[in-house]
Each structure stands twice: as C-alpha cells, then as structure tokens.
Amino acid sequence: GRMFDFHVLDMIELGLEKFVSLQDVKSAKCPEGTKPLLIFAGDVFEINEDYRRLKSLLIDFFRGPVVSAIRLAGLEHVLHFTAVDGKIFMRSYK
C-alpha cells in the first residue's frame, strides 16, 4: 500500500499460488540500484480501475530512487506483469 500524510492512501491485497525464491534461481544478481524496465501486458491494466490502481502501485514500488541520469548502455533487468483470466503473472528477466 501507499501512505500520504501518515494515512493509508490505497492498499491492495494479493495472494500467491506459486513462489520461486532467488536462492532457487541460478542467475547473476543485478547490481544494486539497477532500475528495472516494467512491462504490463493485458488491456485490463488500462480498462479496469482496480488493475489500474495496482499498476500504479507496482510502478511506485519498483521505481527506486530518483536519479539525474539513466545508463543507456544496456538493459539489465525487466519485470513483466501479465494479466490473464483474473490472475496476474510476474516474471523477472535479467
């Protein structure tokens, strides 16, 4: 959720059906401070008010600190959110 002026602005509760920890994934870690590219697949993220709110919350959550410049040499991390049949799938690509 998000807060403003010490009050809850909005909050969303999600459930997990499957979880894979980072320890179970054999891939290199992204450098600290890396900003991910966020991709939202599915029209429902634009049509449905609840999904639009969730998209906004996820963007705020994964945005990271404000920086003066972004390194354009390469894309290191992508977070892909797909909305299908009332479920949201999240996938991380490095």
Domain boundaries, the chain: 32-94
**pLDDT tens for the 94 residues of the chain, in order:** 777 888 888 888 888 898 888 777 777 677 676 788 899 999 999 999 999 999 999 998 888 778 787 777 777 889 999 999 999 999 988 8
Give residue 14's region: left, alpha or beta (phi > 0; psi -120 to 50): beta
Yes or no: say if 57 and 1 are a contact pair by the CB < 8 Å rule: yes
pTM: 0.79
